[in-house]
A and B are shown apart, each in its own frame.
Chain A
Amino acid sequence: MNKVLVLIIEDEPSILNNISIILKISGFECLKASSGSEAFLILETQQPNLILCDVMMPEMDGFEVLKKIRENEKTKELPFCFLSARADVVDINFGLFNGANGYITKPFSAKDLVDTVKKLLPSI
């Protein structure tokens, strides 16, 4: 079985790093991007199985990233999950309404993170 590749987009370096470690321990491969534009550079060469993306980021925010992902023929079917400090129901619904497949609120436990990622992955 091929390793599952997860693209993490997060502007806060410590969080980016920690998520990557947790997922790696759980057996996932990770690609790290500290901004939206960096993520699209990676997507030119790599094909992740899932994207985890922060909402509040400078320059390009999470919603813009999602919009671009959905517009691209190559990535439009990719499972996409928001990671956000905006924990209000309104924010969660807004994210899901805009086409995200999942929404994880900060702070999260390692178990929640891994379970959500597994749940969102297409059954192999």
Chain B
Amino acid sequence: MTQKKSTLHASFELDVSLDFLFESVEHGVLIENTNREVEFMNQFFCDTFNIKFSPAYLYLSNTLINSKKFSSQFEKFEEFEKSLYEIPKNIEIVRDEKWTLTNGTKVLRDYIPIFKVNELKGHIWVFKIERLCPKKFLTENPTELIENALHLLPGEIAIFNTEAKILFANQAYISNNEKRLWAIGKTVVQYFSYENLSNEIALNRLENIKKTIEQKLPFSWEETNVKAKQNNEYFLRTCYPVIKSNGELESVIEQSINITQQKYLERQLNLQIEQFFTTLNSLNDIVLLTDGELKLQFINKSWENITGHKLEEFKGKSVFDILAVTRYELYGKIFAILSGEYSEKKGMLAIKQKDGNEKHLQYNLQPSFSVDDSKKGILATLTDITHQHLQESKLLELVKREKELNELKTAFVNMVSHELRTPLTVISSSAEILDLMIQSGSSYDEVTVFTKQIIDEVEKMTAFMQDLLMVSKIEAGKIEINTKETDIILFVEKLINSSYNPWKDGRKVELSTKRTSKLADVDEKMLTHALQNLLQNALKYSVGKDNPKVRICFSQTYFTISVLDNGIGIPEQDMMNLFTSFFRATNTGNISGTGIGLIVTKYFTEQHKGYVAAKSIMNKGSIFTLRLPYHH
């Protein structure tokens, strides 16, 4: 350094203070002699351009060679090197030439040629670094800086003292400079009154400011339509307490953000949500949404229409309460979707309506996600397919009935065929025998057996035909009841004695009754038919067993006639079809019968406003009871 100083003095014959001056300035200074050798370089120069050598080391080194050490710091380093070479040739002052370093720092460069009595002595280069110094600026002008910054902000900002009086308001809060100055020291209510603005809004603001002062807590509220030109604008205003280090309140900052756009979007969104729900509620299908816990989040109106249950009844309940099913199949499907095993599952389920009727629904399950809950729930749509289901059931029932009818028809044809062919066989063979006997001159007594057989069989066939016709009339509803007062025991006794004492196998029908007879209004023909069928069945299905019995009981309002046998009984599964036309129990085997008798009995009993009941034990016997009123 000593060496440098002496050299500087020697070359330029300058005062010592100049050296000191160059070291103290915050600019990079480089002084060259006419040979372009470094005469002086300050430390600031080395620091700025990141030169690793000390200025003393670089003394008298060639600048143009040295320039390699720092020109790379410049963005346009080739141009910069060229300028170092070219500018001194012109021997003219160059001021504030703009350069940019690679780190973005702006540099202003001055070039000054040094003359002493018209003789060039050297060159001076000064690099002025342009930089911001907020700290310094802030310390010097704190209020100005903050205020300027606050004025530039788009939102309304005001600072209030602990008495809720305005200390500062930015331009957005009060745009007019005079009014703004006037407002200082006033309350927001006074300012609003001065501006002729809504007192209500001002009072609300003041209240929130006071609340913040009292509670030292921030408060937010929404405001709208402060000024007429701001129609339909919305602001979110917040008061923040400014607390000193000792915990006392220093001031309150009130700030507002224009949330009109946000409000508009929110309204749009709400509108869309509303439309969405209106659409969902107008659907015929049930749509339900659950959260991750499978609790109901939403269910549309169709639920009420389809099930008759009110939506409120199901608030917060789980999907299983809503679907009220014990179907493990559905449980399995829901968990398969929640576990990610399937993305969709369909199926059918039946639920009870409020009135107890069953509804058949087709369901479609999908996973659902909520915005704030990443846990999967269920989105289910349920379509009411009760009508289709019913139609399907009806169709199936029809097909089944059709099949049954076909089977019945076949059975009926077989039965008729048998019931006619058997007497015809007797008639035909008897007639042929008669023919032969007459030819051989047999006596009347000998032939009379066969003529009687023919007459009997014709009677049987006639009776059978009458039965068939009767069923046909019954089914067409063409038989009318014609009653007269009748002694019941006498009537039954007469019927038994005329045909069943004894029957063809020699057995008899036993009648027992505990009380004296009573009179009742009955259609004798109908009751005869009804009882004959029961008596014939009792005998026919108990061949080789004890005598069948008839019991008559009289009660206050009705009487019963029961026919009991010890026969083959009726299988349980056949009991429900017992009174169906042409139906015959599965255990009747080859015992001949038409399947007509019981339907006739039932119909005639019902014509008397009575009913017929049957009880049976397989291989033990059956009891058929007619219960009839005395009058009807």
Asked if B414 and A86 make an inter-chain contact with CB atoms under 8 angstroms apart, the answer reads yes
Interface residues in B405-458 by Cβ distance below 8 A to A read 414, 417-418, 421-422, 424-430, 432-433, 436, 450, 453, 456-457
A15 and B454 alpha carbons, distance in the complex (Å): 11
Which chain A residues have a beta carbon within 8 Å of chain B's beta carbons? 11-12, 14-15, 18-19, 21-22, 25, 56-59, 61, 85-87, 105-110
Nearest A residue to B457, CB-CB = A14
Given contact pairs A108-B429, A109-B428, enumerate 19 new A-B contacts (beta carbons under 8 Å): A12-B425, A12-B426, A14-B426, A18-B425, A18-B450, A21-B433, A22-B433, A25-B436, A56-B592, A85-B422, A85-B425, A86-B417, A87-B417, A87-B421, A106-B422, A106-B425, A107-B424, A107-B427, A107-B428
Q: How far is the CA of A26 from the CA of B424 in the complex (A)?
A: 22
B592 touches A18 (CB 8 A): no
Complex-state Cα separation, A61 to B590, whole angstroms: 7
Say if the beta carbon of B149 comes within 8 Å of chain A: no
B469 within 8 A of A: no
Whether the pair B417, A85 counts as a contact (CB closer than 8 A) is yes
Give the residue name and chain of the A residue nearest to B413 (CB): A88
Q: Which residues of B sit under 8 angstroms from A11, Cβ to Cβ?
A: 590
Contacts of A18 in B (CB 8 A): 425-426, 429-430, 433, 450, 453
**CB < 8 Å neighbour of B429 from A15, A59, A86:** A15
Q: Complex Cα distance A50/B427, Å?
A: 25
Q: Which chain B residues lie closer than 8 Å to A87 at the CB level?
A: 417, 421
The answer to whether the Cβ of B51 comes within 8 Å of any Cβ in the partner chain is no
Query: Which of chain B's residues have a CB closer than 8 A to the CB of A106?
Result: 421-422, 424-425
Contacts of B453 in A (CB 8 A): 14, 18
Q: Is the CB of A56 within 8 A of B429?
A: no
Residues A15 and B543 in contact in the complex (CB < 8 Å), given A61-B590, A86-B417, A87-B417: no
Chain B residue, CB-CB nearest to A19: B429
B589 within 8 A of A: yes
Q: What A residues does B371 contact at CB under 8 A?
A: none
Q: CA of A73 to CA of B590 in the docked complex: distance in angstroms?
A: 28
Residues of B within 8 A of A57 (CB): 590
Q: Are B590 and A110 in contact (CB under 8 A)?
A: no
Question: Residues of B contacting A22 with CB < 8 Å?
Answer: 429, 432-433
CB pair B417 A58 closer than 8 Å: no
Residues of A within 8 A of B417 (CB): 85-87
Q: List 6 A-B contacts (CB under 8 A).
A: A11-B590, A18-B450, A56-B418, A106-B421, A106-B422, A107-B427
Please tell me if the beta carbons of B421 and A107 are within 8 angstroms of each other in the complex. yes
A108–B592 Cα distance when bound, in Å, is 20
Residues of A within 8 A of B589 (CB): 58-59, 61
Interchain CB contact under 8 A, A108 and B428 = yes
- List chain B residues, Cβ under 8 A from A58: 543, 589-591
Shortest beta-carbon distance from A114 to chain B in Å: 10
Q: In angstroms, how far is the closest chain B Cβ from the Cβ of A89?
A: 13
Cβ contact within 8 Å between B430 and A14: yes
Instruction: Give the chain B neighbours of A59 by CB distance below 8 A.
Output: 589-590
Measured between C-beta atoms, what is the minimum distance from A91 to chain B in Å? 9
Report the bound CA distance from A82 to B421 in whole Å: 15
Name B's A-contacting residues (CB within 8 A): 414, 417-418, 421-422, 424-430, 432-433, 436, 450, 453, 456-457, 543, 589-592
**In the bound complex, CA of A110 to CA of B430 (Å):** 10
Q: Please, how many angstroms separate the alpha-carbon atoms of A108 and B426 in the complex?
A: 10
A12: contacting residue among B422, B432, B591, CB under 8 A: B422
In angstroms, Cα B540 to Cα A58, docked, is 10
> How far, in whole Å, are A18 and B425 apart by their CA atoms in the complex?
9
Q: Which residue in chain A gives the minimum CB-CB distance to B452?
A: A14
Chain A residue at minimum C-beta to C-beta distance from B419 = A85
| Complex CA distance for A110 and B450, rounded to whole angstroms | 15
Bound together, the chains give a CA A58 to CA B453 distance in angstroms of 22
Report the bound CA distance from A87 to B424 in whole Å. 13
Taking CB as reference atom, which chain B residue is nearest A104?
A: B425
What residues of chain A lie closer than 8 Å to B422, measured between beta carbons?
A: 12, 15, 85, 106
Q: Are A107 and B425 in contact (CB under 8 A)?
A: yes
By a CB distance below 8 angstroms, the chain A residues around B418 are 56, 85-86
Q: Tell me the bound Cα distance from A59 to B421 in angstroms.
A: 21
Q: How far is the CB of B617 from chain A (nearest CB, A)?
A: 20
A56-B456 Cα distance, complex, nearest whole Å = 21
State in angstroms the CA–CA spacing of A14 and B452 once bound together: 11
Name A10's closest neighbour in chain B (CB-CB).
Answer: B425
The chain A residue sitting closest to B435, CB to CB, is A110
> Would you list the 5 A-B pairs with minimal beta carbon distance, nearest first?
A18-B429, A85-B421, A106-B425, A107-B424, A56-B590
Docked Cα-Cα span, A56 to B433, in Å, equals: 24
Chain A residue nearest to B540 (CB atoms) is: A58
Q: In the assembled complex, how far is the CB of residue A73 from the closest CB belonging to chain B, in whole angstroms?
A: 28
Cα distance A56–B593 in the bound complex, in angstroms? 12
A61 CA / B592 CA spacing, docked (Å):
12
Given A21-B433, A25-B436, A108–B590 Cβ distance below 8 Å?
no
CA distance A2 to B429 in the complex (A): 27
Least CB distance from B22 to A in Å reads 136
Closest approach, in angstroms, between the C-beta of A66 and any C-beta of chain B?
A: 14
Q: A14-B430, A22-B432, A86-B417 are in contact. Are A108 and B425 (CB under 8 A)?
A: yes
Q: Which residues of B contact A110 (CB under 8 A)?
A: 429, 432-433, 436
- Distance (Å) between the CB of A30 and the closest chain B CB? 14
Q: How far is the CA of A86 from the CA of B30 in the complex (A)?
A: 139
Q: How far is the CA of A25 from the CA of B434 in the complex (A)?
A: 12
* Assembly CA distance A44 to B155 (angstroms): 125
How many whole Å from B224's CB to the nearest CB in chain A? 95
Bound form: Cα–Cα A70–B425 in Å? 28
User: Which residues of A lie under 8 Å from residue B457 when comparing CB positions?
Assistant: 14
B430 to chain A, nearest CB (A): 6
